[in-house]
Structure 1
Amino acid sequence: MSCSRRQFLSGTGAIIVTTGLAGTQIVSSTASAADSEDTVKRYGMVHDENLCIGCTACTEACREVNNVPEGVSRLNIVRSEPVGAYPNVKYGFTRISCQHCENAPCVYVCPTAAAYKDPATGIVDVEADKCVGCGYCLAACPYQVRFFNPETKAADKCDFCKSTQLAQGKEPACVESCPTKALTFGDLNDPNSNISKLVSEKTVYRDKSHLGTEPQLYKVPHSIREVKG
Structure 2
Amino acid sequence: MDISKRHFLTGCGTLIAGFSIYSVAKELAESEAGVSVDQTQTIKYAMVHDENLCIGCNACEQACRQVNHVPDGVSRVVINRTGPFGEYPDQSYRFSRKSCQHCEDAPCVKVCPTGAAYIDSETGIVGVNPDKCVGCQYCIAACPYQVRFINPVTQTADKCDFCRETQLKLGKQPACVEACPTHALVFGNIRDPESELVKTLKSKPTYRAKTDLGTRPKLFHVSTIDGEIVL
TM-score per shorter chain, which class? 0.7 to 0.9
5+ residue gaps in structure 2?
1-29
Task: Report the Cα offset of residue 39 of structure 1.
Answer: 4.7
Aligned partner of 1:215 in structure 2 is 217
Aligned partner of 1:177 in structure 2 is 179
1:85-123: CA deviation from partner (whole Å, max 9, x where unpaired)? 012210110100000001000000000000000010000
1:6-56: CA deviation from partner (whole Å, max 9, x where unpaired)? xxxxxxxxxxxxxxxxxxxxxxxxx99863446521000000000000000
1:115-141: CA deviation from partner (whole Å, max 9, x where unpaired)? 000010000000001001111000000
Answering whether residue 45 of structure 2 is matched by residue 43 of structure 1, we say yes
Task: Report the Cα offset of residue 224 of structure 1.
Answer: 3.6
- Which letter maps to 2:61? T
1:145-184 equivalences under 5 Å are 145-184=147-186
Q: Name the CA distance, whole Å, in 2 between partners of 1:179 and 1:157.
A: 23
- Structure 1, 76-85 or 44-53: larger mean CA deviation: 76-85
Question: RCO higher in 1 or 2 (8 Å CA, sep ≥ 6)?
Answer: 2
Aligned partner of 2:26 in structure 1 is none
- Please point out which of 173, 192, 201 is paired with 2:194: 192
Does the aligned pair in 2 maintain the 1:45–1:216 contact within 8 Å? yes
Percent identical pairs in the alignment equals 59
Aligned partner of 1:130 in structure 2 is 132
- Which letter maps to 2:166? T
Q: CA RMSD in A?
A: 1.6
- Which letter maps to 1:223? I
Does the aligned pair in 1 maintain the 2:41–2:121 contact within 8 Å? no
- Please point out which of 67, 89, 92 is paired with 1:90: 92
- Higher helix residue share: 2
TM-score, normalised via structure 1 length: 0.82
Does the aligned pair in 2 maintain the 1:38–1:189 contact within 8 Å? no
- With over 3 angstroms needed to count, the CA separation of the structure-2 counterparts of 1:34 and 1:94, relative to structure 1, is farther
- Which letter maps to 2:218? Q
Q: Count residues in correspondence.
A: 195
Q: Name the CA distance, whole Å, in 1 between partners of 2:113 and 2:159.
A: 18
Answering whether residue 211 of structure 2 is matched by residue 201 of structure 1, we say no
- Which letter maps to 2:140? L
Q: Name the CA distance, whole Å, in 2 between partners of 1:122 and 1:91.
A: 33
5+ residue gaps in structure 1?
1-30
